[in-house]
Amino acid sequence: MDDCIFCKIINRELPSTVVYEDDRVMAFKDINPEAPVHVLIVPKEHIKDLNDVDSGSAGYIVDIHMAAKKIAQKLGIAESGYRLINNCGEDGGQTVFHIHYHLVGGRKLSTKIL
Ligand code: 5GP
Ligand code: ZN
């Protein structure tokens, strides 16, 4: 996608601080962190949101979870705990329409969902 900022980050056309990468997914620090650890994990394929995931691309969701586990270990928050969040669509708070999961931790997070 030509005008997608996360595709540009994946293609190194925009800078980011990459914390994890493999052939399927990439993870980089959120530009506006809301916790001591705030990483965005994205598939290397442009998929708009969770509604756009189908049986052919569903494996990315597993890949993202496995990457989250590895990143949490690498960044030292695996034992203290963390949260993995997907915002879908406008009411869900999604602002960048390339599916991504927020990995947040490094402090005690609110137990409130909303
Ligand atoms: P959403 O609200 O779509 O779930 O989350 C989008 C996230 O992307 C936000 O937390 C925002 O701070 C982050 N973000 C937006 N633009 C950029 C960027 O250019 N680089 C990085 N690293 N993060 C970005
Ligand atoms: Zn994209």
For the segment 6-52, what is each residue's pLDDT rounded down to a tens digit? 999 999 999 999 999 999 999 999 999 999 999 999 999 999 999 99
Q: What is the 3-state secondary structure (H, E, C) of 35-67?
A: CCEEEEEEECCCCCCHHHCCCCCCHHHHHHHHH
**Domain residue extents for the chain:** 5-105
Provide ipTM, 2 decimals: 0.99
Pocket-forming residues, ligand 1, beta carbon under 6 Å? 5, 16, 28-32, 40, 87, 93-96
Active site residue 100: yes
Q: Which atom of ligand 1 is nearest to the CA of 32?
A: 12
Among 34, 31, 104, which residue's Cα sits nearest to residue 71? 104
Question: What class does CATH assign to 5-105?
Answer: alpha beta
- Pick the residue whose CA is nearest to atom 12 on ligand 1: 32
Indicate the pLDDT class of residue 114, thresholds 50, 70 and 90: confident
